[in-house]
Structure 1
């Protein structure tokens, strides 16, 4: 069963076809190529990076139940089988076959893969595309580029030119950039470009211990502006991780309205800024996308993690955000189940939200179908030049 084939509501044929049309997943990560222990699998279906408390399991979450309901049949099992049965079948098939089945059945026509999470255990962008029967392109993690430059450059002065050169080289082979500035610092950063002297001084301090994660606010700001310059030259968008996320994220500093000054400063430049995940700040993100012409939003991993509750979040975006500003991104990572469920619950959530509007006579059938195509693939094709 392809992701979303079992929609929760009846829709006119044209709208159903639009909801089920192939999606452009504008932000995901590589999934594991190796066979997994139960403990590792459980951490990969949640944003937690630690095991569940003793005597409990991460399968007792909306995502855990969704794995057993929707992924089990793709592995030849009955829906709702116990976790142990599911994982035994997963091990029997092997990671390559599980990945092939789940990625292909997600109904993705193009994977845009954030390659910032390293490791030979993860599929590359090309491998994600091959197993999923889809096109695949790279989204460059800006902080990863900076880390490589800091580890190899000779001085604070060369740090600036080396960073520019490396970003430009990466941009030539990618369709966009992404930043996780919310994790080491928060989105409440000073929006102004730092001076060259301040950058050189901060870079010299950085080079004393370049293996540390970048946290210096001057260099973080410099990195963002350097990326904006390269993105403008190459007509590439820049993604920002906001809202719901990993344990290292300080939630109250991940509200995208905190970076309004930066958004306003970049408006004349015209580089598209994509606010990802956003929940529980999706209403704030919606405001930014409404008032700034270069701002776009998605709800990323939220549909997969809220599962049956996805319709409420998807519906709220339809209430608030211009339809040409919304994107689909699964934020699938670690296990292919997250990619599959991201697509499935996005489609189910969108179907439910569209059905309400159609039944109320608020939307016509052609409008509902057009919006579904825009959000599912058309908007991504436009801003990523696919």
Structure 2
């Protein structure tokens, strides 16, 4: 008998406790949220998945109180609280970047020995020297060149002596001339040699463009093989403008991009098009380089000069707000929306690119009336009315 009574009592206790828990979980008038992360909402008790605090029960009938505030007309006037209707805007932004002028590496010309021989003379021996088109660069003493010239002179002499011969001297002479031109002789040198009828083992090599000596790779008296570099010429028209952009700014630059350039020490602002970007960051820094070509016909701009680049380009059409409308509190971003006259509610948002005094935002809809003036007074009033609960917001 006693055993039966104990079983009945335990069953009754279990039934009462289980029933209460069930009522607590399915109570349709209560939901659970986190005072630190109000975006977390649950229909049953538990812990916040973000901060792991116990969820707080909230009566749905007082739901609006936790996220909204109502002010009198006098309070709105005294707090200078105004709201603006939000729309989409095609924003433009200026991006100012430090830059440096550098040689156009695509315009680098390496002057190589086209035949084996000895460098008899170097006319330019110092990096930075300016060379005009047509100036002599170096002389090379070459036995193969001397032999090729003699062969050409022999063919010309045979053609004159054997006019009715079946040998096609014209084709042979064209081939011999072509070889000498490939080896570095000019048409003028070739004509002078044929006119004099004398071969010369020393050939002068001339510059076919103007530029600055970037590097001298050989010395007078040295023997060079075919293809060996003797010196390199660098043109400065155009010249590169290399702008430094941080990794966080790369997404803002869309190439090709129109830009304005001002060079330190030189008056004026110049238009360029930035059209190339390095595929990787510079070693040991978080900077990348974007570049464009700047016309430099008078050679006024020199490598190493500092410059400023101003890029102005359209950003995506997007929702923007004045920066002052955003409340940032310990990692959280929110705004106040005017629901009706004197009634306001908080809304969590996510901000994006800042352009001037505005910022792109996500989490709001076009047409919403967002408070843009008196935001912090409104937020302070809300905290006062809601007590300590707001002190735990982050």
Q: Same fold (TM over 0.5)?
A: no
Q: TM-score, normalised by structure 1?
A: 0.23
The structure that has the greater radius of gyration is 2
More helix by share: 1
Q: TM-score, normalised by structure 2?
A: 0.23
